[in-house]
Amino acid sequence: MRLLLIAGLALPMVAGCYTYRPLASVDTVMPAAGTDVEVRLTTAGATAMANEIGPDMLALQGHVLAADSAALTLAVARSETARHIGYDWKGEHVSVPRSAIADLRQKKFAVGPSALIGGLAGGGVVAAYALFGTGGASTNPGTPPVIGHQ
């Protein structure tokens, strides 16, 4: 039961909440390879890249493969239209010109929401343990269980 309690407390930390936080200006930021980012496109950039990423795309999420002064190359995991319709990708490589980028955000672990979910999950595990106990196991294996009143 102790293992179940530990697993219940650790699970929210493994599956924690993430959010995208703005980075500095697109002109000054060169995210490192392997960084998870969200790229918001300019209207002109989305139009210019429509043949490569699809029509009406507003954002791309993925891993940075390379970044230089001309472009940001991503292994795209997801894209989103201006109407907030999302599409999953399989890591296809897309080179986004810096001039097409309106906003750049980095994926970060969200401590507050993860702690809240972890506290609720941990509290639920503790409450279940308190409610159901040890599952009926006897504390003294040599003593038979008591049935009825004596």
Question: Mind listing the pLDDT tens digit for each residue in 127-143?
Answer: 666 677 665 555 555 66
Confidence of residue 45 (pLDDT cuts 50, 70, 90): very high
Confidence of residue 23 (pLDDT cuts 50, 70, 90): low
Helix segments in 34-93, DSSP class H = 43-48, 50-53
Q: Could you say which architecture CATH assigns to the domain 18-109?
A: Roll (2.30)
pLDDT at 118: 57
In the block, tokens 């702690």 appear at: 115
The lowest-confidence range among 13-17, 29-33, 38-42, 65-69 is 13-17
Residue closest to 53 by CA, chosen among 70, 74, 71 = 74
Buried b (16+ CB within 10 A) or exposed e, 46-73: beebeeebeeebbbbbbbbeebeeebbb
**Mean pLDDT over each residue of the chain, to the nearest integer:** 77
Domain boundaries in the chain?
1-17+111-133, 18-109
